[in-house]
Amino acid sequence: MGQLLQFTINGLMAGAIYALIAVGIVSVFKATRVVNFAHGYLIMFGAYFYFTFAVLVPQAAWAPDWLASWQPGWMMDMREGLPMFSPLAAVLDWLANVPRILLGLAGALLCNAALGLVIERTLMRPLMGQSVFAMIMLTVGLISILSGSAQLIWTSDAEFVPSLAPNTPIRFALFGQTIFLFGADLANMVIALLIFAGIVLMVRYTKSGIAIRATAEDQSTAYSMGISVPKVFSRAWVLASTTGAVAGAILATRNGISPALGLFGFSVLAIVLMGGLDSYLGVFLAAMIVGVLEALTQWQLGGEWAGIVPYVAVLVVILIRPHGLFGAKEIERI
């Protein structure tokens, strides 16, 4: 029992990241009925863009020194006499990185948004009006193009990238148990949940959200309301690629950067199928369930089982409810 809470919390933190990735797949599917198999590779590009703007650019000879490491006088004063691993030292380390973290995030968001737009404009839009299956196959082809070009562009070895929040260890008691976490993991979860909630609220309560739902329900009627369906499509792709950029940055800080990041998209695709392709609520629950199951399996059975048990659960759910936990019934089978 002692560790249950600790591992559950670890699982929830992982689940929030899954949810952040899943939101991109769901948004594209809702608007365009396309299951984006290449979403993981959009995330990988987001990670590489973050690496470029947070590590490579600040290191460049022409970049100002404060970009690589911001050391104003007051910070040096505070640092005086601090013990090595004090929380304050960790926060100060993070503060010194803030300029490049912000540059990294901004660069990753912008570049990934551009990438999403280019994909939508050049590959998806010409196929509008054709079978959706053609577009889905196209995203499969996109996988090779994206992973190949990433290896062409970023030849240097990926280094350590700065985490989004100070990575101080946090220790606190909950129900008599001592829980131990890292500040960066907690911050990542908060960021992921905020973005997820923001998107859900946007879709539910704003006028653009109504346009997305109208397009999702009935494309031709959305047209006859004066809604520009192609615009909805490109917004969905931008939404997917920008949330993917944040997810990529987070994954890069957690697991490092490699072309294998793209594979992450496939496990999240399974989660999305479990939740129901077009249901934000279902996908959120599925992400959390898989996250927690993964952590608990790791705890009880060891790391080698962690990759299997949650996905067996996914399969069982899909067998019992083929359209997912909360999915609409008439979903395209893939």
Partner 1 sequence: MLEIDGIEVNYHHSMQALRGLSLHVPDGQIVALLGSNGAGKTTTLKAASNLLHLEFGSVDAGSIRFRGQDIGRMAPDALVRAGLFHVREGRRIFTEMTVEENLIAASYALDGRGLRPAYDKVYAFFPRLAERRRQIAGYLSGGEQQMLAFGRAMVACPRMILMDEPSLGLAPKIVTEIFTTIRRLNAEDGVTILLVEQNAAVALGVAHYGYVMEHGRIVMEGDAKKLRDDPDIQAFYLGTGAAGNATSFRDVKHYKRRKRWLS
Contact residues: partner 1, CB under 8 A: 129, 207, 210-211, 213-214, 217-230
Least distance from partner 1 to the Cβ atom of residue 198, Å: 19
Nearer to partner 1, 50 or 280 (CB): 280
Longest dimension (CA), the chain: 69
155 vs 220, which CB is nearer to partner 1? 220
Residue keyed to tokens 């769901």: 26
CB distance 192 to 250 below 8 Å: yes
In whole angstroms, the minimum distance from the beta carbon of 241 to partner 1 comes to: 24
Closest to partner 1 by CB, 38 vs 222, is 222
Taking residue 308's Cβ as centre, other Cβ atoms within 10 Å add up to: 12
**Tokens in use for 79?**
């640092």
Q: How far is the CB of 330 from partner 1 (least distance, A)?
A: 12
Nearest 5°: CA angle at 41, between 198 and 255? 80
Residue 149 vs 228, nearer CB to partner 1: 228
Residue 86 or 206 with smaller CB distance to partner 1: 206
Cβ–Cβ under 8 Å, residues 96 and 69: yes
Give least dist CB 135 to partner 1, A: 15
CB of 149 to partner 1, least distance (A): 32
Q: How far is the CB of 321 from partner 1 (least distance, A)?
A: 19
CB 44 within 8 A of CB 146: yes
Find the shortest distance in angstroms from Cβ 37 to partner 1: 25
CB of 220 to partner 1, least distance (A): 5
Tokens representing residue 91 in the block:
């926060």
Q: Are 54 and 163 in contact (CB under 8 A)?
A: no
| CB of 86 or CB of 221, closer to partner 1 | 221
DSSP track, 216-280 = HH-HHHHHHTT--HHHHHHHHHHHHHHHHHHHHHHHHHHH---GGGGGHHHHHHHHHHHH-TT-H
Q: Could you say which DSSP state residue 325 is in? A: S
Contacts 24+ apart (CB under 8 A), 165-172: 165/94, 166/87, 166/90, 166/91, 166/93, 166/94, 166/95, 167/90, 167/94, 168/87, 168/90, 168/91, 169/87
Q: State the amino acid at position 182 in one-letter form.
A: F
CB 235 within 8 A of CB 208: yes
Closer CB to partner 1, residue 5 or residue 132?
132
Q: Tell the smallest beta-carbon distance from residue 86 to partner 1 (Å).
A: 53
Nearer to partner 1, 203 or 292 (CB): 203
Cβ proximity to partner 1: between 168 and 215 the closer is: 215
